[in-house]
Amino acid sequence: MADIRINKKRLADLFISLVKIDSPSRHEAQVAAFIRKWFTNHLPEAVIMEDASQAETGSDTGNMIIKIPGTIQAQSIFFNAHMDTVEPGRNVQPVFENGIFRSDGTTVLGGDDKAAIAIMLETLLSLQEQKVEHGPLELVLTTCEEIGLLGAKALDISLIDSKAGLALDTEDPDSVINRAPAAIRFQVKINGLAAHAGLNPEKGISAIKIAAHAIDKAPQGRIDEETTCNIGLIKGGTATNIVPEVVVVDGEVRSHQEDKLKTVQDQIISCFYKAADHYKKDSSDTYPYVSTTVENDYPLMNVPENHPLATAIMTAGKRLGRKLRLEMTGGGSDANILNNKGLTTLIAGIGMQKVHTTEEFIRLEDMEKSCVLMAELLKVWATM
* Residues in a beta bridge with 187: 250, 293
Cα–Cα distance for residue pair 270/364, rounded to 1 Å: 49
Say if 272 falls within a structural domain: yes
Same domain, yes or no: 71 and 121:
yes
Q: What does DSSP say about strands 137-142 and 77-82: parallel, antiparallel, or unpaired?
A: parallel
Single out the residue in 298, 326, 347 at which a domain terminates. Answer: 298
Same domain, yes or no: 219 and 350:
no
CATH code of residue 28: 3.40.630.10
- Residue 330 sits at the vertex; the CA angle it makes with 326 and 331, to the nearest 5 degrees, is 100
Same domain, yes or no: 123 and 161:
yes
Same domain, yes or no: 198 and 336:
no
Same domain, yes or no: 262 and 291:
yes
Same domain, yes or no: 195 and 161:
no
- Does residue 167 have a pLDDT over 70? yes
- Does residue 368 have a pLDDT over 60? yes
N-term to C-term CA, the chain:
17
Q: Over the stretch 228-249, which tens digit does the pLDDT of each residue have? A: 999 999 999 999 999 999 999 9
Say if 40 falls within a structural domain: yes
pLDDT at 109: 98
Number of domains making up the chain = 2
Same domain, yes or no: 198 and 114:
no
Same domain, yes or no: 153 and 188:
no
Say if 3 falls within a structural domain: no
Same domain, yes or no: 164 and 188:
no
Say if 91 falls within a structural domain: yes
Q: Which residues are catalytic?
A: 84, 145
Say if 1 falls within a structural domain: no
CATH code of residue 276: 3.30.70.360
Single out the residue in 256, 275, 298 at which a domain terminates. Answer: 298
Q: Over the stretch 300-315, which tens digit does the pLDDT of each residue have? A: 999 999 999 999 999 9
Say if 2 falls within a structural domain: no
Same domain, yes or no: 336 and 283:
no
Confidence tier at 2 by pLDDT (50, 70, 90) = low
Is the torsion defined by CA of 194, 195, 198, 202 positive or negative? negative
Which structural domain, as residue segments, surrounds residue 259?
A: 182-298
Single out the residue in 298, 323, 358 at which a domain terminates. Answer: 298
Say if 271 falls within a structural domain: yes
Say if 151 falls within a structural domain: yes
* Residues in a beta bridge with 65: 49, 140
Per-position DSSP letters for 126-171, written without gaps between them: HHHHTT-----EEEEEES-GGGTSHHHHT--GGG---SEEEEEEES
Q: Over the stretch 72-122, which tens digit does the pLDDT of each residue have? A: 999 999 999 999 999 999 999 999 999 999 999 999 999 999 999 999 999
Q: What does DSSP say about strands 344-349 and 95-97: parallel, antiparallel, or unpaired?
A: unpaired
Contact 143, 28 (CB under 8 A): yes
Same domain, yes or no: 202 and 170:
no
- Does residue 152 have a pLDDT over 90? yes
Q: Over the stretch 31-55, which tens digit does the pLDDT of each residue have? A: 999 999 999 999 999 999 999 999 9
Q: Over the stretch 184-211, which tens digit does the pLDDT of each residue have? A: 999 999 999 999 999 999 999 999 999 9
Same domain, yes or no: 25 and 168:
yes
